[in-house]
Chains A and B, each alone.
Chain A
Amino acid sequence: MRTESPSQGTSARAAGRADLDPQLLVLDEIVAAGEPWLGNVAQGQILRIVDLEGNQAVDTLFFNAQHTEERYSAVDTIRAQGNIYLTTGTVLRSSLGAAMLTIIEDTCGRHDTLGGACSAESNTVRYALEKRFMHSCRDNFLRALARHDQELSKRDLPSNINFFMNVPVTDAGGLEFADGISGPGRYVQLRAEMDVLVLISNCPQLNNPCNAYNPTPIQILIWAAG
């Protein structure tokens, strides 16, 4: 298991139901506010991401661990399920249409996949030219990929998932970043349908309500297939 930040967690921190065998726990880690995380989840393993303090956007991409040219695709996921929101039962689809992971439990309610990741450059457009020099999810993604042994780069950053983020779309086609619907301890749990490489940015955005203007830590847990 490859990790990008020191493991501080214990299984006692795991929020929600204690229905997974603690003997099978293979990773329990806290990702500090504004940090990246890169790791592998094998087919059949269970990944849980916990929003420890509430309203924390977790920008996430998945790659086929063996063939990283195949990766998470927001539009294939949306089209296959006929719905823009991700929640229990959603199958996360790859750019080749394959099932990558399934959301098997979701105590938040729904998650976004249209809002993308913040970057220095998009900050200049969305907020003000001087907002370029703030930490961003794309910087996190690029930093994590630069440390990885596969040759992955900005070319490998398509539209991502924003777990715990609320981006409602209206019937008239309006789109807003709204106040979060998540809360402390809410989590999303996924079963890997193939071996995946997981790339996370625990979002450092300070200019919109995606993190309630206060980025906070998250917890990542992985259980072996039961």
Chain B
Amino acid sequence: MTGAVGELANREARPRAPEPSPLLWQEHLTAGEHWSGILRRGTSLQLVALEAGANVAALLYNFESPLERYNMADTLKAQHTAFLTRGCVCYSDMGRVLCSVTADSCGWHDTICGLSDAAQVERRFGRTRFQEQRNAWFHNGRDSMLGELGKYGLGKRDLVANINFFSRVTVNADGALAFHDGHCRAGDFVELRFEMHTLLVLATCPHPLDPTPRYQPRPVQLRAWRSGPAPQQDACRERCSENARGLRNTEMIF
């Protein structure tokens, strides 16, 4: 079963995210909350972990036609990887690229562990209600995502395998999962360049395998700027011939 693994000793203490300029907007995403927004083609978004141990669950849909959505399996098999980092792209189920991962200070983002749910959060951390806790009640990943999806007429049928930014879960030879405690440092950042008009849905609930005994979600800063879409010479496009074809498929509709 899941075990915490000691982490990477010789990384710098606090990475410093570049400051995009000029900013289109920025937003402070509170710990344990959910968020959604539209990121148009040519926009980039920086996610910065404001404290160590952050987790940002993410789902992506084509904003013009949400039946097209992030596809975990197509993303992994096209790039022969089980995780995301700089140079990777996030594929839709239509052979197109929703976004590219253009910068990453932590080196690994989980794609295979899904979301926490109400039963798990209650079992591990106890029952909370708004009535007593007000806005400090314990949110869970699945309900957060479903609530946010409902704002767009989406729901359970649209809840597919998500990304967990800032979390690292490895697999041993027998297939067993190991959550890497301490992987995300305060200041760690990841940058996404949107190649399509994308509905992005985020939740900052703790990773479902995070062994921290207390319910302790972490806040994240979002910063958006106009970067333009993938240029011809680009690390994500050149990572593998699959990504070149995926971006070509994407460019056909713009």
Contacts and interface: CB of A to CB of B under 8 A. Distances in A.
Interface of A: 69-70, 73-76, 78-79, 82-85, 95-97, 110, 114-117, 119-126, 128-129, 153-159, 167, 169-171, 173-177
Main secondary structure of the interface of A (DSSP, over half): loop
Contacts of B72: 74-75, 114, 116, 159
A169 B171 contact: yes
Interface string B93-110: 111100000000000100
A156 B158 CA distance: 8
Nearest to B176: A83
A119 B95 contact: yes
A125 B74 contact: yes
Contacts of B189: none
Nearest to A162: B73
Tell which of A82, A123, A157 has the most Cβ of chain B within 10 Å: A82
Contacts of B78: 122, 125-126
Contact of A78 (B73, B114, B162): B114
A83 B177 contact: yes
B245 interface: yes
Interface string B162-194: 100000001111111100000000000000000
Contact of B76 (A82, A114, A153, A157): A114
Interface string B128-144: 00000000000000000
Interface of B: 1-2, 67, 71-74, 76-78, 80-83, 91, 93-96, 108, 112-115, 117, 119-120, 155-162, 170-177, 208-209, 242, 245-246, 248-249
B156 A116 contact: no
Contacts of A175: 76-77, 80-82
B93 A119 contact: yes
B248 to A, nearest CB: 8
A153 B66 CA distance: 13
Given A97-B117, A125-B95, A155-B67, A173 B170 contact: yes
Contacts of B249: 121, 124-125
Nearest to B179: A82
Contacts of B172: 171
Given A116-B73, A169-B82, 20 more contacts: A69-B156, A69-B157, A74-B72, A75-B112, A78-B113, A82-B2, A83-B175, A84-B177, A85-B175, A96-B117, A114-B77, A122-B95, A125-B249, A126-B78, A126-B242, A155-B67, A171-B170, A171-B172, A171-B173, A174-B80
Tell which of B67, B112, B120, B208 has the most Cβ of chain A within 10 Å: B112
A117 B74 CA distance: 8
B82 A173 contact: yes
Contacts of B91: 122, 125
Given A115-B73, A173-B108, A95 B82 contact: no
Nearest to B159: A95
A151 to B, nearest CB: 10
B67 A79 contact: no
B100 to A, nearest CB: 14
A75 B114 contact: yes
B104 to A, nearest CB: 13
A167 B173 CA distance: 12
Contacts of A123: 95
A111 to B, nearest CB: 11
Contacts of A95: 156, 159
Smallest CB-CB A-B distances: 10 pairs: A116-B73, A75-B114, A121-B95, A85-B175, A82-B1, A69-B156, A169-B171, A83-B175, A173-B83, A175-B82
